[in-house]
Chain A
Amino acid sequence: MSEFKRQDIYLQINPEDVWRHFGSLSAILRGNGGAPKPVGGGLKLIRGGVLRASDFDIVEEGGVKYVRRHTGSGLSFSTTIDRLKGLGPAPKIEGRVWKLEKNTPLPDGLCINFDKDAPDHPMVSVSRKMKVSEAIELFGVLASRMKPTNVKIK
């Protein structure tokens, strides 16, 4: 049994197509971020150098950990601030909101997955199987391309 939602209801968007797809947006957003450096620790997409099994499809082969492409997995982003604040009775996502501004490319090797019925909930994941260490490096590159907003949800 898969740990994630079945893949066939998801679409995968590769880096070259991201802003063609999200062309009407000025940015896509990530909550739960820290304060910008040097005051805080920054965005920290991946904390403690560990990919969580709850976000990624991780396997171990020959003593090496790999993250596999799975369109139903990834770090949750949002297309709107309201969704991070919790629409209606939904819980809010606390912390600084960070943004990937329009036309900022995703690093090669990452992609965006989303449920066709929930297009405002993109998830950033890997587009191919790779070592966990490589994925962490790519998420570090992505974090360096993102900017803090002045919104801190409490």
Chain B
Amino acid sequence: MSIVDPRNIYLHQDIKTTLLDFSVERGYNKIAEVLSRGDVAEVKLRGPEEAVELGQLAEAYRFDTKLKFPYFDDEDENFNPLHDEKFDFANGVVVMKVSFAIQDAYPSHFSSEVDAS
């Protein structure tokens, strides 16, 4: 059963729009509905399960970016600055802001004692 514990988190519209567009494109309808709630820079979560799903979506977006732009690592001999720029947005903006926002919103759910498996 879902835990009902509503929280509002704030994500810049560039992040929210990126994730909403990605979820719609991929047919991830449940999380797309979550992202459609709230104002331009706000996401209204009904509980920690939705926060986990939002984190998974951010990770999926990063995976997608890594597959499209694989030469982002500056320790890789094929390093490409364009790939670094794309990965930086996925990892350093989208994932970082989402990860920190959901950890801030549900600190007891996102703790080192919670089994990530």
Q: Which residues of A contact B (CB under 8 A)?
A: 1-5, 31-32, 34-35, 39-41, 44, 47-48, 52-55, 72, 76, 78, 82-83, 86-95, 115, 117-118, 121
Contact B58 A89 (CB under 8 A): no
Contact B99 A90 (CB under 8 A): yes
A83 to B111, CA, bound (A): 9
Can you pick out 12 interface pairs between chain A and chain B where the beta carbons lie within 8 Å of each other?
A47-B84, A47-B92, A52-B93, A76-B97, A76-B100, A86-B110, A89-B55, A90-B55, A90-B99, A90-B102, A91-B95, A93-B91
Q: Is B4 an interface residue (CB 8 A)?
A: no
Contact A91 B40 (CB under 8 A): no
Which of A34, A54, A92: most chain B Cβ within 10 A? A54
What is the minimal beta-carbon distance from A66 to any residue of chain B, in angstroms?
18
Which residues of the other chain, A, contact B58 by a CB distance below 8 angstroms? 91
Q: Is B75 an interface residue (CB 8 A)?
A: yes
A-B contact count (CB 8 A): 111
Which residues of the other chain, B, contact A35 by a CB distance below 8 angstroms? 74-75
Contact B99 A72 (CB under 8 A): no
Contact A54 B15 (CB under 8 A): yes
What is the minimal beta-carbon distance from B57 to any residue of chain A, in angstroms?
10
Other-chain contact of A90, B89, B91, B110, B113 (Cβ < 8 Å)? B110
A32 to B88, CA, bound (A): 7
A153 to B14, CA, bound (A): 25
Q: Is B13 an interface residue (CB 8 A)?
A: yes
Q: Is B112 an interface residue (CB 8 A)?
A: yes
Q: Is B109 an interface residue (CB 8 A)?
A: yes
Contact B103 A83 (CB under 8 A): yes
Q: Which residue of A lies closest to B60 (CB)?
A: A91
Other-chain contact of A3, B12, B95, B98 (Cβ < 8 Å)? B12
Given A53-B14, A88-B114, A91-B59, 6 more A-B residue pairs with CB atoms under 8 Å apart are A5-B10, A32-B91, A47-B88, A76-B100, A86-B99, A95-B91
